[in-house]
């Protein structure tokens, strides 16, 4: 696990965003961990989170011209990441959408810079891929090109029925369907490695077996 990935997992745990116990997912599965990016909710942690997004994007080598944040969580994430990128010497425009079209003033559903060139979609996680699909449609309709999706955590689990052992993960489906990379700051393997390391995640080692069992049962094929 890269140092950046390890730092992100540790940061998420310390911020109370990544928690361990027993949580029911949207798919009805009982997960031993839960990641809630909505809890990155003050200026200090949001700034650190944006730095992780920005550095991960730069390290990926993906060539891009601007950022797009799908409503609602993506709005803050794209805005903050643009600020962090500018501080790192990469000043790029960003845009985001409204859920409902505005009938007065400037009108429409888009806010920010004009969508053009190669656009990176920024969100917290990918569950069903609905947000990505809507974002891709908006970007293409504007004549721009969606070139990558950047998320915080890849759960790496099958998106289909539990009995469909060959099902892809939501991230794999998005990458395949839209022929573009999905970049994550960290993933389930990084999380497992963190709690398995007696030097860093010792206090969380009690959850190692549960996370491993969950990964074995629901993990998507590589």
Tally of CB atoms within 10 A around 74: 23
What distance in Å separates the CA atoms of residue 186 and residue 153, rounded to the nearest whole number? Answer: 5
Beta strand extents in 128-173 (DSSP E only): 145-154
Q: Is 73 an active-site residue? A: no
What distance in Å separates the CA atoms of residue 92 and residue 13, rounded to the nearest whole number? Answer: 30
**One of 24, 90, 102, 114 is an active-site residue; which one?**
102
**One of 99, 104, 114, 208 is an active-site residue; which one?**
104
Q: Which whole-number Å values give the CA distances from 207 to 21, 162, 191, in the listed order?
A: 8, 22, 11
Q: Which whole-number Å values give the CA distances from 144 to 77, 95, 166, 184, in the listed order?
A: 20, 12, 34, 23
What distance in Å separates the CA atoms of residue 73 and residue 139, rounded to the nearest whole number? Answer: 18
Q: Is 102 an active-site residue? A: yes
Among residues 67, 15, 69, which one has the least CA distance to residue 45? 15
Tally of CB atoms within 10 A around 132: 25
Catalogue the active-site residues.
102, 104
């Amino acid at each position: 696990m890269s140092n950046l990935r390890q730092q992100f997992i540790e940061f998420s745990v310390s911020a109370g965003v990544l928690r361990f116990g027993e949580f029911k997912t949207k798919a009805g599965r009982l997960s031993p961990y839960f990641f809630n990016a909505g809890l990155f909710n003050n200026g200090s942690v949001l700034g650190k989170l944006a730095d992780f997004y920005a550095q991960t994007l730069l390290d990926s080598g993906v060539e891009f011209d601007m950022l797009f944040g799908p409503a609602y969580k993506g709005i803050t994430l794209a805005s903050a990441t643009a600020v962090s990128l500018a501080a790192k010497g990469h000043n790029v425009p960003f845009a985001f959408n409204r859920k409902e079209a505005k009938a007065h003033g400037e009108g429409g559903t888009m806010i920010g810079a004009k969508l053009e060139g190669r656009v990176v979609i920024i969100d917290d996680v990918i569950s069903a891929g609905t947000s990505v699909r809507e974002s891709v449609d908006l970007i293409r309709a504007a004549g721009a090109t969606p070139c990558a999706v950047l998320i915080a955590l890849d759960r790496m689990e099958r998106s289909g029925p539990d009995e469909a052992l060959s099902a892809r993960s939501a991230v794999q489906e998005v990458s395949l369907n839209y022929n573009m990379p999905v970049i994550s700051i960290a993933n389930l393997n990084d999380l497992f490695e963190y709690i398995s390391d007696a030097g860093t995640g010792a206090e969380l080692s009690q959850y190692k077996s549960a996370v491993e069992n969950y990964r074995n049962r629901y993990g998507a094929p590589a």
